[in-house]
Structures are given as C-alpha cells and as structure tokens.
Structure 1
Amino acid sequence: MRLNMRWGAGIVAGLVLTACGGGGEGRGEGIGDIATLMRIQAQAVASMGQEPIVATSTVAGRCATPRTGTDPETGAPYRDQAGTLDDEKRWVRGWIDETYLWFDEVPGGLLSSAYPTPVAYFNVLKTPKKTVNGRDKDRFHFTEDTAEYRNLSAGLSVGYGMELAFLQRTPPRDVRVAYLEPGSPADLAGVTRGMKLLEIDGADVVTGNDVGKLNAGLAPAAANEAHTFKVGLLDGGTRTVTLTSANVTLSPVQNVKTFDLAKGRVGYFQFNDHNEPSEAQLINAVNTLKDAGAKDLVVDMRYNSGGLLGVASELAYMVASREATVGKTFERLEFNSKNPFSLTPAQATVPFYEYARGYSAPTNQMLPQLGLNEVTVLTGPDTCSASESVVNGLRGIGVKVNLIGGATCGKPYAFVPADNCGTTYFAIQFQGVNAQGFGDYGDGFQPDCVVADDFSHALGDPAEALLATALTGRCINNGAPKSEAARQKADAKAWEPLLNRSPSRGNRIITNRDM
C-alpha cells in the first residue's frame, strides 16, 4: 500500500488580487443489470432531495476526458477510461463519504446536478462548522491540476523566484517581496526583499481594477513569459524591471549562519518548504551549525506552510537530543471512525526519525543532532501544517519551543491526496496529535512575543525585527494591538496567509517510506 498524505494550507485557487462529456454507463439485458438498478435507485433517492453514494472503486478513472500516455507517477499507462462528468462527481462524493474526517458533518441534499463540474461539487462537500474563535473548521479543502502538483512536490515552480507577501489584497493593495530564490530571474534582476509592487505591465497594483492583467503578471502560466514591474524601493524611490518567468528550482533552506552573543554561539537558518530537496539541505545546515559550535538555534519558518511530514520529524530529531527522541512518538494520526486506509496503530504513528528517509539524502544516513532542550521558531500566518508539527512534536517530548512573530495558521489536519481524471483532490482525512495526545490548535499557536514582519531588513539580518528579538531576548511587542477592537481585527488578519502560493506547497505528506 502506498499512501501519499499531505498536510496543507495556503489560499484558495482563483484571482490572487480582487477588485472594490461523452460516454455513458453500461446497459445490460434486463432488470437485474447493476447499472439499471443504480439508475432506478438514483431516480428514487433524487426525488427525495438526495443522491445515492457509490463506492469510489466502481467509478474511479471513468473520465469525461480520459488521459492517454504514461503516468509519470507509476511508469505505467494511465488507467483512465471513457466516462462522464457524472461519473467523476460520483467518485468525488464517494471519496468524501469514505475518507473525509468529518464525513458525517457534510450537509445533506447537495445534488451533484446543481454543480457544473466535479471540482465545483467537491468544493461544497465539507463541514460547515466553526472553530471556537469563529473560523471555518475546514479552511483547507482544495484541488489542483495533478501534473502541477507533482512538479511542486519535487521543488519546481513556474515563476520569477520571488515570493510575494500580500499585506492587503483589495484596494489600496499592499504587495511586498518577501524573499528571493537564489539565482532566479528576480534575484538576478536585483529585486530585493521589501520592494513594493506598484505596477504590472502598466496596470496599477495599488488601486487599479484590471485584475486580469495584474494576475497574468503575478502568476505566469508558463515559462518564458515577460512582464514589466514597477516597484517601490525602501528609500522611497521607484524602479522598473522586466522579468521573464522560468522553471525555478526552490531553495528550501537559506541563510545558514551563526551569531556570537554573550550567552554563546547561536545558529540560524531560514526554512521555507518541507519538500524533497529540503531533507539534504537541512542535514547540511545542521552539520554546519554543529561544526561551528552552535549552542542555541533560531529556525525561521515564518513563510513555511508545510510539506513532507517525514522531513518535519527529521528536523525535530536534529534539533533535540537522542535521549529525548529515541522511541518517542513525533505524531500520531487520527482518522475517522471508518479507518479508511486500514492502518494499524503502528502504521498511524510517526516516530522521530533517526535516519534520512531518502527524499534527497541517502536512505538510512544517520542524522546529526544539536542536542537542544530549547529552540526559538520565528512564525507568522504562513507557518502552517508540517511547520506546526515541528512545534507540537517537540513540545510533546518536553522541548521548550519559543515562538516569536505572529500566530500560526492553525492546521492540525491533513490530506491523503487522490488523483482522479487529472485533478488531485485534497480533503482532510486525519488529525495529528503529539506524544502527549495534543493536537487541538485549530486557531493556531500564539507567539510568546508578537512582532510584526519587518520588510525593511533582509531575512537573516540581526537587525530584522523578529530575529533581533530572538537574539536579544527583549520582547518589544511591536505587533501588539492597542485595544480590544484592534486586537480582534489583528487576530482576524493573522488568520490570513500572506504569501501568494499554490495550496499544495502547504501540505504534510506521508509516503510509503514512512509506512
């Protein structure tokens, strides 16, 4: 059995800026034919405002537009067969009923015929319930083109290599450069953190209504698209730069360095994605800091919305000591009452991995350890899912985790993504809890010191507000609201992701390496 479980966050697909079938079911020779009986049942149930739910195995791969050729995931031909959009919708409804964590909270009476596509139908098949603080309990339901999703899993992305922070998505918009991928088109063009987007291809970013042109420039559909950006500089000036999109290789671990303080040498690195390449890069970073004699650590995960759960476990192991981690549970996976993937308790338990899992480092390579009983993590609303697992997993074994920045996104849940007919569906299938059985952080982890993101300094600069707070130990609390009304507004804002990312970059994944 191969499970590919992903934990995710991120924004819903659609505009990133906003303005103020063929084929049919088989037919047999008599009333005993299964397809005929299914149609009769469907008509009877639909007349009562409901539809029958069928097993996914009976309609899987029955596609309105079947794919041809070889599936790169398996190396075998695609298993798609001629089918209809109704077949795809039946598969979606069956998948939700079989595996969704809150399958019994999905509203009844949602007729598939009311929705034009399987994706539109999938989007409403989720719980309507709220968290204690009034957020949607399920804010993470999404789909993605299967081919694009697989590229992102391998650390590839079409774009300019600049991550954008959307401080305000509606006019007057405020879009800043958060960080750069080294060697990317934006990096080579001299774009830097903190620059503010003013115009794209002549369209006004701040107050303009041409969202089609803005989004075309922000999210190029393919490599080799050229778009012109006018940006505001930190000194108040402006600059115009033309960027050409490319297939950018993501660099999940950046700015590995140390700082010599009175209390000793402190290590730091920026960690952006729990993807496959991050495994080897994290091992190298920890070895570098260990060789440098770091006695303390600051991990900057303010923009890390998740990824491989195995990598999260590896990172937690490398932070802590062998005595604290060996034989301990990093995270236990709790499914619905149907136990849809038939996992044993052992299979549903993720340990603190002592050896590399083989994502990008040699399988069974012994992992280094810093042996710390305390660590500082820089956080924000994009700190999500697998990143929150690192925090929760370490706290579960008694490691003190200090949080500086903003509240995390609040996602103790995860997906088992499923491809059907070229669309990968992400519906929450399980909740993760740590060694102490805790996993109820649907409203996020609150920081020990609230500090607003500082776009006037580079990440890794000791003068940057979050890092400066971690290094000095002085909590200025520059992000704290001044009144209860302001606090509630700030809390609501903190729930929103800042980065314009594909949702699938915010997932926790369990592969067959972990089972």
Structure 2
Amino acid sequence: MVCASILTATLAACGGGNPGACVGSNAVCHLVAATPATTATTAYTSPSQLALSSVAHQCVAPRPASAIDPYTQQSYGDVQGSLTTEKQWIRAFVNETYLWYQDVVDLDPALFIPGATVSYTEPSDNFASPMALGSNFDALNAYFNSQRSTLSTSSGKPRDQFHFTYRTDEWQALSSAANSVGFGMQVALPSSSPPRKAVVAYTESGSPASGGNVARGAQLISVNGVAIADGDSSALNEALFAPIAGKQYNFQVIDQGGAAPRNVTLTAGNVTSTPVQHASTLAAPYGNVGYIQFNDHIATAEGQLIAAVATLKAANGGKGIDDLVLDLRYNGGGLLDIASEMAYMIAGPGATANKNFETASCNDKNPFGITAGEGTPFHRATLGFSTTAGQALPQLGLGRVFVITGNGTCSASEAIMNGLKGLGIQVVQIGNTTCGKPDGFVPQDNCGVTYFTIQFKGVNQLGFGDYADGLIPAGSGATANNLPGCVVADDFSKPMGDITEARLAAALQYRRDGTCPAPASGYVKVAAARRDAVLGRSMLRENRFFLPRLGAPR
C-alpha cells in the first residue's frame, strides 16, 4: 500500500469557556479555562524513539489468538505487554506516520494513567480542559490526544481537527456494516448553546425514529423531561448522540407544520444506515434532471450508488439525464475509494482516462513508500466493498454537476468535488461552505483501539488541494476553492428531493438562468450568511480513509 493510493458535535453546557461548538465526541463538552502544563511535563526529555514494529500488539489485555481481524482474516497477534508498551506504540505511530510529526511536543507518557487528571485539548478549537482518567482506554485516548499539532491555519482554524480513537469493534461495525446504536435520526443543532434548538435533518427507514413517525423538520422540545432549550447537557448528549442500547427515551416533538407538541417513546437499538436515501429523476418539469441524496461514504454505499446511477442512466426511456444534482449536505466523508467510484460514474471514461482522482503527499519519512506519479485513480470497476469486485461501473458522462453542500460536507465528499474540478468538469456548489478537510488517514488498530491520525494531504489532477478553509459557493476569491453557485440556508420545512426545498430549488434556478434566489429575511438569511445547523455525529463520519486491509506503514 502506498500513500498516494490511500486517503460531532455535542451540546455545549451553560457558562464560560470557548463559545464554539464542541466537535468530534459523543461525550459532553463542557469547556473551561485551559490548564497549564505540569512541571514534570515541562521538564520531560524524550528517550530514543522506538520503531513502530518493535512495540506493536504488546497489550495490557491481549485479545485471544482465536480473535480474527475481519480485514486480514488473521489473528490480531496480540501478546502480553503493558499500558507502557501501548503508549510507546502510540508515540512511534505518530512519529513515523503523522503528517505534521515535527509539531508534536513530547509529553511524559507516565503521567497518563488511570486515576490521573491531565489537560485534554479539543481538536475542533484547540481549547484545553482537565480530564480525569478513569480507565486504561481513557489514558490511551488522552495520551494520543496530546500527540498532535496544535498550530492553526492562516484563518485561525486548528490545523488538525481530526485526531481521535475508537474502540476497534465499534469502528469495524460502523465501517463495514453501517451499524450503530441510536434511533435512526440525524439531529441538527441550529443553536447548540442555551437557548438551544434541535431539529431532525433526516431519518433512516425502518428505524425507531421512523417507526415513531419522526421525520425531517420535526423540532425536539424535550427528552425524558429535560428541556432541549436549557436543560442538563449531560442528559441531552446521552439521549441525542450516545443513547444506551435497549433504553427507552421519551421525546416531546413538534412535527414540521404542526403547532402542538406530541409525545413519542423511542427505544435505542442497532440501526443500519442507508447511505443513498434518494435516487430518481425530479418531478416535472425537471424530468431530465437526476437527484441523488448521498449521506455516507461507507462500504454499503458502493452497491447503492451503482444502483442509483444505473437508474438514472435508464431514465427517460433509456435516454438518461442531462444534469445531476448530487446532495452531499450531510455527507461527512469516509472511504476515498467510494468517492473515486462516484466521481468516475459522474464523469465517465473519456474525461477520466489516464487521470488521477487524487494524489497524496505524506511526511518526509514516506511511511507508505510513495513514488512519483502514484495516485488514486478514477476507479472504473467495483472494488468489492459491498458488491463483487471487478464489475464495470455504470457512468453518466456529464460535463457538469450541481452539488448541494453544507458546513457538514467534509473530506471524501470534498474530494469528489475537487477531483471532478481537476478534470475540468464544472462543479456548481449550492448551499454553504464545506468543512475543509483535504487530509486523510489509514486507521490503525493496536490492542483493540483504532487510532486515526492525519497521514496525507490530497490534491487533484491539476495539483490543487488547498481548501483547509472549505470549498466556497459563490466565492469571490481568486483561489480554486471558490466555486460558482449560490449561498442558501438548509430548508428543514421540506422533504429531501422536493423541488421546492430551498437548496434544490436554487440549484434548479441556477441551472435555468445562472441566477441565485434573493436572500430571505429573518432566521433563514442569518443562517445562510453565517453557518449551518451543527450536525451531531462522530468524527468517523467527517473524514476520508482507506480500510486497514489495503495497507499499512512500512
């Protein structure tokens, strides 16, 4: 595996601290003043750096030899080690593969043990708060958190907002089968601090939320008697973003278009997400325009995207479509190979011949053995994520695409847009500025914890990848991250795919005459000009990556 072939938001509590939303955790983020480093940390001198391979899979609690890695179909190879050896592995992993390893400040790993309290820096805003370590996992997570760059971009945005861990079994369940515990509703937060507001962006078919007739646009008023507007953030974060499997939660909701609240009881359970929720031609008079709502670059998306494109290609008596609206407003990214497949299916074989979808650059240690000219191609055949590998992909052969985006459009989704721009395909952007993540990683397991650290930066065929501050619709700047299109607020009052929904309607208006709708007044105007509602979701859904089975640092 070569590098070139690779790749949450929560409610804020009342009170002081940084007013920004906390991103990337399903735990409560109660921001407090930063704590200074201890004398011991300041005086620490790092010993000689160990090689990654010399401390791999030496675990405080090794998995049995019978435990099989689903990606390699082999035993994990864990042996008895200690918390110390696991932290040594973290330091070696970051030092060898992290894109900005030179920025990392060595801290004494002996300080990160259960029972200790350490300074934990939130990646979304580089704001530090004390964290009590209650377990070995807490200690490993906090130490890994300390091993990242805390520098900022020219706009003041943290250079690295995506440096995190997951328990390996949870990561495997989500990446392979799209399974997670919840209600099957994506909660969006127009306001994440009091007075808070929470609405439903979409729901999953067959989920508890769907069974309770909770649909897009429903406003959540309270849960288990705790008011969304000003109630206890800990209780709300559990209910909205980290519910306990099998536990009942009593919601008070006001349905879209309704006036009076109603009560609905939902039981948290295992939910399988559907990454492609809508795929069809639009209602008259737009029958020659295709629409795809694509929410996640996960393994199951491969087959669903193929079916979606095949449906559009066969539309209108086999004549297909003239234009495509690709709705990525809630798509935070995922598998970069899925993004490459989708981009190929839009552009077709002629435009993509002998072109790279994305070329990656790693650190100067070149941990993945990259050589000049290597890159991720526009895949013309299935890779076998959820279909049989080697099947020719259907394609539309379009010269332009309308892409609906929001602040939660990240990483692999941005790569689709940037990859198509690299071919000269016109990308018209409708909605709001994307999150800005041209970087990615190969997740790496060690001792039952999977670590995510940025290892490469991607550029398109034209060599462009400088969009750390996002891709900007109707941008007035001279740089390539300014795209034609319109700034339009999310419209929770209409279903996805409805031609009167504000963002889709704007795409159709721009397609017709190259103009944008006049900004509305009140809340919609403010939201469009400033920021989308924050999506409550994990960092796993805001990144680009390749599965570990495709390679490892060497």
How does the TM-score come out when normalised to structure 1?
0.87
Structure 1 Cα separation of the partners of residues 460 and 346 of structure 2: 16
Query: What is the aligned partner in structure 2 of residue 376 from structure 1?
Result: 402
Structure 1 Cα separation of the partners of residues 521 and 156 of structure 2: 21
- Aligned match for 2:48, one of 38, 48, 52: 52
Structure 2 Cα separation of the partners of residues 312 and 79 of structure 1: 32
Q: Moved runs in structure 1, 4+ residues, more than 4 A?
A: 1-10, 16-20, 45-48, 260-264, 479-482, 511-515
User: Secondary structure of the equivalent of 2:409?
Assistant: coil
Is the CA contact 1:307–1:386 (under 8 Å) kept in the aligned structure 2?
yes
Which stretch of the first structure deviates more once superposed, 198-207 or 211-220?
A: 211-220
- Aligned match for 1:150, one of 172, 188, 191: 172
Is the CA contact 1:321–1:373 (under 8 Å) kept in the aligned structure 2?
no
Is the CA contact 2:44–2:107 (under 8 Å) kept in the aligned structure 1?
no
- Aligned match for 2:199, one of 176, 179, 183: 176
Map 1:182-221; keep pairs closer than 5 Å.
182-209=205-232, 211-220=233-242
Query: What is the aligned partner in structure 2 of residue 67 from structure 1?
Result: 63
**Residue deviations 1:249-297, cap 9 Å, x none?**
1101112121266686100010001111111111111111111121110
What displacement does 1:115 show?
Answer: 2.8
Structure 1 Cα separation of the partners of residues 80 and 147 of structure 2: 25
Query: What is the aligned partner in structure 1 of residue 98 from structure 2?
Result: 100
Q: Over aligned residue pairs, what C-alpha RMSD do you find?
A: 2.8
Shift in alpha-carbon separation, 1:168–1:7, aligned structure 2, 3 A: farther
Shift in alpha-carbon separation, 1:251–1:144, aligned structure 2, 3 A: same
Map 1:350-429; keep pairs closer than 5 Å.
350-429=376-455
Structure 2 Cα separation of the partners of residues 463 and 178 of structure 1: 16
Q: Which amino acid aligns with 2:356?
A: T
Structure 1 Cα separation of the partners of residues 179 and 248 of structure 2: 19
**Uncovered stretches (5+) of structure 1, i.e. residues with no partner:** 21-44
Structure 2 Cα separation of the partners of residues 371 and 245 of structure 1: 43
**Residue deviations 1:14-48, cap 9 Å, x none?**
4357599xxxxxxxxxxxxxxxxxxxxxxxx9976
Structure 2 Cα separation of the partners of residues 185 and 3 of structure 1: 41
Map 1:415-454; keep pairs closer than 5 Å.
415-447=441-473, 448-454=485-491
- Say whether 1:342 aligns with 2:369: yes
- Say whether 1:475 aligns with 2:516: yes
What displacement does 1:4 show?
Answer: 12
**Uncovered stretches (5+) of structure 2, i.e. residues with no partner:** 10-21, 33-40, 114-138, 474-484
What displacement does 1:213 show?
Answer: 2.3
What displacement does 1:513 show?
Answer: 8.4
What displacement does 1:216 show?
Answer: 2.6
Structure 2 Cα separation of the partners of residues 2 and 392 of structure 1: 21
What displacement does 1:510 show?
Answer: 2.5
Is the CA contact 2:3–2:370 (under 8 Å) kept in the aligned structure 1?
no
User: Secondary structure of the equivalent of 2:450?
Assistant: strand
Structure 1 Cα separation of the partners of residues 51 and 69 of structure 2: 26
Structure 2 Cα separation of the partners of residues 239 and 48 of structure 1: 58
What displacement does 1:76 show?
Answer: 3.6
Is the CA contact 2:343–2:378 (under 8 Å) kept in the aligned structure 1?
yes
Shift in alpha-carbon separation, 1:56–1:189, aligned structure 2, 3 A: same
Query: What is the aligned partner in structure 1 of residue 340 from structure 2?
Result: 313
Q: Higher RCO, 1 or 2 (CA under 8 Å, sep at least 6)?
A: 1
Is the CA contact 1:8–1:140 (under 8 Å) kept in the aligned structure 2?
no
- Aligned match for 1:87, one of 85, 93, 102: 85
Is the CA contact 1:166–1:499 (under 8 Å) kept in the aligned structure 2?
yes
Structure 1 Cα separation of the partners of residues 198 and 6 of structure 2: 28
- Say whether 1:285 aligns with 2:311: no
What displacement does 1:247 show?
Answer: 1.3
Structure 1 Cα separation of the partners of residues 112 and 431 of structure 2: 41
Is the CA contact 1:450–1:480 (under 8 Å) kept in the aligned structure 2?
no
Query: What is the aligned partner in structure 1 of residue 503 from structure 2?
Result: 466
How does the TM-score come out when normalised to structure 2?
0.81
User: Secondary structure of the equivalent of 1:367?
Assistant: coil
- Aligned match for 2:535, one of 499, 504, 509: 499
Query: What is the aligned partner in structure 1 of residue 360 from structure 2?
Result: 333
What displacement does 1:344 show?
Answer: 3.3
What displacement does 1:370 show?
Answer: 1.0
Query: What is the aligned partner in structure 2 of residue 28 from structure 1?
Result: none
- Aligned match for 2:263, one of 217, 240, 257: 240
Among the aligned pairs, what percent are the same residue? 44
**Residue deviations 1:452-480, cap 9 Å, x none?**
11111111111110001011224125389
Q: Which amino acid aligns with 1:321?
A: G
- Aligned match for 2:273, one of 250, 256, 268: 250
User: Secondary structure of the equivalent of 1:428?
Assistant: coil
Query: What is the aligned partner in structure 1 of residue 482 from structure 2?
Result: none
Is the CA contact 1:62–1:421 (under 8 Å) kept in the aligned structure 2?
yes
User: Secondary structure of the equivalent of 1:118?
Assistant: helix
Structure 2 Cα separation of the partners of residues 212 and 6 of structure 1: 37
What displacement does 1:233 show?
Answer: 2.5
Aligned length: 481
- Say whether 1:15 aligns with 2:15: no
Shift in alpha-carbon separation, 1:88–1:463, aligned structure 2, 3 A: same
Query: What is the aligned partner in structure 1 of residue 149 from structure 2?
Result: 127
Q: Which amino acid aligns with 1:280?
A: G
Structure 2 Cα separation of the partners of residues 476 and 392 of structure 1: 25
Q: Which amino acid aligns with 1:244?
A: T
Is the CA contact 1:452–1:465 (under 8 Å) kept in the aligned structure 2?
yes
